[in-house]
Structure 1
């Protein structure tokens, strides 16, 4: 198991040793995406060493305030509250970990543009779970997604997986993308934001002693 990975460009960790830590530049923003039930919220809660903006937190607050009301009736309010909270967090600055449902690419594009204007960078982490693994995760947490919604999430996750693994440059404003298999996520212990390590100082070599030119011969006048 690799101790640490500082993501840059693309990293497909399928079939590779999983790192214990993901280290991102200080003040950057990480977007965590994946299928519903893949374990995004659990991963962020367990590993993130920065502020987390998770739509599930907003949904839970509304559920406590509206007991017995079907989620479908107040879903638009949850989304609005989540995006307002996200906007405030982005404006406040500092490192940030953001839950992404994956079905709204315009959210990632807006985040990339906003962070770029702030002099920060956006990073993607795709938690790669199979539909069966995600469905099992939904059963375990007691919140099932409808077949129609899950089909939309599967298409979005497939498109994002292609984006992460394809050759060529990443989308504008995206500094790195990591594909993390769900089975490997258990080995990850920390998602941190730290300053980039300072470059090693160049070795100092003593300057060679200056070479002196040989003295010019002195002409001796002839006698007589």
Structure 2
């Protein structure tokens, strides 16, 4: 078999996982299972929330695996507050401390999310985990649009998340990090014991290795 054909065959043999089809919670953590999931595939038009500790790799994952278009050729909306912050930091306010214009960044982020939810298209949203009202807002939008909502949760050790913050030069305070740890711990514990949060069709648990093995979050 030619190298290109062999590569395509290996790629085709890797697993496409459809959260919510059979099991509402998919635990892909652990070395024995991490390499099996090459793609998480959702119905076109569904909403996906990516949550986890600051520094756990949410933004990196979203940039790497979220496609520009879904299977219908429609735009996939990737909503990440980090993208908004970086745009503002390159603008006229870049010389000011971030704390001064943080409210403007948050307002711009929520406006972009509002527009994406109203578009009817597929949406992937970066979620810090501490703001339950944001997830409730997205869940209401999903119900009104007769769409499903899914959670992708990065479960990494706190020390790994701290290292991720240091590598990008953007840490959070000890108090804020403790809040994030409690919120993410609640989400992970709920998924392990009772299923996805209220309003969610499915929850997918990823550790660092499983997230690295993932190639695509597709919508078809």
- The alpha-carbon deviation at position 185 of structure 1 amounts to 0.9
Query: Relative to 1, partners in 2 of residues 1:171 and 1:131: Cα closer, same or farther, differing over 3 Å?
Result: closer
- The alpha-carbon deviation at position 2 of structure 1 amounts to 5.0
Secondary structure in 2 aligned to 1:174?
coil
Superposed CA offset, 1:95-149 (max 9, x none) = 1111001110111011011111111111000011110000010111111111111
- The alpha-carbon deviation at position 172 of structure 1 amounts to 3.6
Match of 1:32 in 2: 50
* CA contact 1:165–1:179 (8 Å) conserved in 2: no
CA distance in 2, matches of 1:121, 1:141: 33
Aligned pair count? Answer: 193
Secondary structure in 1 aligned to 2:56?
coil
Normalising by structure 2, report the TM-score: 0.84
Q: Which runs of 4+ in 1 moved over 4 A?
A: none
Match of 2:145 in 1: 118
- The alpha-carbon deviation at position 10 of structure 1 amounts to 0.8
Match of 1:182 in 2: 208
What is the root-mean-square deviation of aligned Cα atoms in Å?
Answer: 1.4
- The alpha-carbon deviation at position 67 of structure 1 amounts to 1.6
1:6 to 4, 13, 18: 18
Match of 1:60 in 2: 86
- The alpha-carbon deviation at position 73 of structure 1 amounts to 1.2
| Structure (1 or 2) with the larger CA radius of gyration | 1
* Residue ranges of structure 1 left out of the alignment (5+ in a row): 195-224
CA distance in 2, matches of 1:69, 1:165: 43
Which has more helix, going by share of residues?
Answer: 2
* Residue ranges of structure 2 left out of the alignment (5+ in a row): 1-12, 68-75
